[in-house]
Amino acid sequence: MLTLFPPADGRVRVEGTATCPNAVLHPWLRREMADIRADLPAPPPTADSSWAAWDRWQAGLSAPITLPADLPPLRVLLVLANLAGHRTPAFVPWLFTHGVIPLCTPLGRKWLNMAESIQRVLKRQALGGQHPTEAGDIMRWFEATSAHWNADPTPFEWGGKRATRRQRQRDRRHRVGGSGATTQRPIV
């Protein structure tokens, strides 16, 4: 299942496929990224903000990306799984020339990619109680479920209500002597 998920608006873009080589993935990503960029507001008119935004996104990278000299304004941050096909010499420069910076999740950290989260939600809704006999059934169910999801999308955010509850719970506890231990009331 090819999946793009802009978490800020909660809309998911999916397409079923039996195989996913670069020859299938890259044209699909180019089409979808063009649609996403078309829906974005116009970039700010200042030329200096272009390089500043690109540099800001690269500041924490362990292996900064060599950027071309002529860059458009940074429009989209694309989080991808850490696969070699996502970093091909033909695809990455295309992203740069269209104002998209690709960031790959660290190995073993796919939970950082929110597309994985929405895939789990859609899988549970699409396949719950179903017994598919063909791959085409699964693809159609996923696409129908994503269309239903997009009728009333739910934006994703890091942390959210659960993180707020956990932080409140931590704030109500009192650290004991600088260790990891806590008490419900302060020790005097």
Do 166 and 129 reside in the same domain of the chain?
no
Query: What local confidence, expressed as pLDDT, does residue 49 receive?
Result: 55
Average model confidence (pLDDT) for the chain?
Answer: 82
Asked if residue 116 and residue 185 are part of one domain, the reply reads no
With a threshold of 0.85, does the pTM exceed it? no
Do 94 and 146 belong to one domain?
Answer: yes
Q: Give the pLDDT confidence score for residue 110 in this predicted structure.
A: 60
Task: Note whether 169 and 102 are same-domain residues.
Answer: no
Same domain, 185 and 145: no
Within 8 A by CB and 6+ apart from 87, the residues are 102, 104
pLDDT, one tens digit per residue, over 16-47 is 888 888 888 899 999 999 998 888 888 766 65
Residues 100 and 144 in one domain: yes
The C-alpha atoms of residue 148 and residue 88 are separated, in whole angstroms, by 34
Look at the chain and report how many structural domains it folds into: 2
Residue 34 sits in a domain of what CATH number?
A: 3.30.420
Statement to judge: residues 66 and 84 lie in one domain = yes
Q: Is 46 found in the same domain as 107?
A: yes
Read off the pLDDT band of 178 (50, 70, 90): low
pLDDT higher than 90, residue 143: yes
Domain that holds residue 170: 158-188
* Co-location of 135 and 163 in the same domain: no
Nearest to 33 by CA among 80, 78, 2: 78
Residue 166 and residue 77 share a domain: no
What is the distance between the alpha carbons of residues 153 and 131, in angstroms, rounded to a whole number? Answer: 26
